[in-house]
């Protein structure tokens, strides 16, 4: 057994022991999904999109101020091994790991939750059954039928994970076509669905309409009103954050876009926040 593996196992055991010493609050399970807490408080949350299989890049994003990471497994070559390593390498980061799974299948959702994802983002939800399956496969009995196998979830979230997982795992249902819009009220009413997300680009692609067109905006309004009436949160692209009312869950830019933005800021000569002009940062201090 390699020294690295021994250290990893030892660290996981230490984290699990420490978490076990933190009692659950009286009257309910321990809540550690800060995204859920913030939404319940009426706040907006923003997640950065991650699709590069690099733990250092992931940690840089997860510690940069975002509320969650939108780990992209539908439109990337990320494997579950890649994502598990990324989540484990940056456990304790402020950004909560959410995974957009390829589909609402039992295998995809089981692996995503076993590796520590607290948010399951389901694409192309245009049937009630798909929304129900997402909840069923993500939640333990008696709510769902998630099996209790091995995984790193305990090392990431604590020894009380089995008792607290159902109260922390969130389901985000993405509506991307007119068929989904037509049953948005039914999707939003599925018990266990927390957020209904308007996929702006694909909604335009499938409808043949553009943002700003009256018919497109009517589709968006239908989802917004149905979701709000059901008492669920509404999600959308970050560009809608300050321009549309009623939205509170946003998908932010990718790590490559953030790198481009950071490069432009650096080359413009603007100092980092808190760094006096003319003073070089200490090497090795970056996180």
Q: Say if residues 67 and 95 touch (Cβ distance below 8 Å).
A: yes
Q: Say if residues 77 and 65 touch (Cβ distance below 8 Å).
A: no
In 139-277, alpha helices (H): 153-157, 161-168, 178-182, 184-188, 200-207, 214-229, 255-267
* Residue 95 DSSP SS3: coil
DSSP for 119-169, please give it.
EEEE----SHHHHHHHHHHHS-TTTS-------SHHHHH-TTHHHHHHHH-
Name the DSSP letter for residue 271.
P
Q: How far apart, in whole angstroms, are the C-alpha atoms of residue 134 and residue 104?
A: 5
Q: Which of 7, 17, 75, 275 is catalytic?
A: 75
Q: How far apart, in whole angstroms, are the C-alpha atoms of residue 251 and residue 240?
A: 10
Which residues are paired to 236 by β-bridges? 250
CA-wise closest residue to 167 among 146, 188, 192, 147: 192
Q: How far apart, in whole angstroms, are the C-alpha atoms of residue 201 and residue 26?
A: 44
Whether 215 is catalytic: no
CA-wise closest residue to 100 among 64, 145, 68: 68
Q: Say if residues 34 and 94 touch (Cβ distance below 8 Å).
A: yes
For the annotated catalytic residues, the residue numbers are 75
């Amino acid at each position: 057994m390699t020294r690295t593996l021994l250290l990893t196992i030892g660290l996981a055991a230490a984290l699990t022991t420490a978490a076990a010493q933190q009692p659950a609050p009286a009257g309910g399970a321990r809540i550690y999904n800060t995204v859920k807490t913030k939404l319940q408080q009426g706040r907006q949350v923003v997640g950065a999109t991650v699709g590069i299989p690099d733990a250092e890049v992931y940690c840089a994003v997860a510690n940069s101020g975002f509320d969650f990471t939108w780990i992209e497994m539908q439109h990337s070559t990320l494997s579950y091994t890649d994502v598990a390593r990324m989540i484990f390498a940056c456990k304790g980061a402020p950004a909560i790991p959410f995974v957009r799974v390829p589909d609402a299948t039992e295998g995809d959702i089981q692996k995503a939750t076993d590796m520590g994802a607290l948010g399951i983002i389901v694409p192309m939800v245009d049937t009630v059954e798909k929304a129900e399956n997402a909840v069923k496969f993500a939640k333990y009995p008696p709510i769902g039928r998630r099996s209790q196998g091995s995984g790193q979830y305990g090392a990431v979230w604590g020894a009380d994970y089995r008792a607290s997982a159902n109260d922390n795992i969130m389901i985000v249902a993405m509506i991307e076509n007119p068929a989904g819009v037509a049953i948005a009220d039914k999707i939003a009413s599925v018990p266990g669905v927390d957020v209904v997300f308007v996929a702006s680009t694909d909604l335009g692609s499938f409808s043949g309409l553009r943002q700003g067109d009256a018919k497109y905006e009517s589709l968006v309004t239908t989802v917004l009103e149905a979701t709000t009436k059901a008492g669920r949160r509404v999600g959308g692209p970050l560009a809608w954050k300050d321009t549309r009312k009623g939205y509170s869950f946003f998908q932010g830019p990718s790590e490559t876009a953030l790198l481009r933005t950071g490069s432009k800021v650096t080359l413009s000569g603007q100092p980092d926040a808190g760094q006096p002009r003319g003073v070089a940062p200490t090497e090795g201090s970056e996180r």
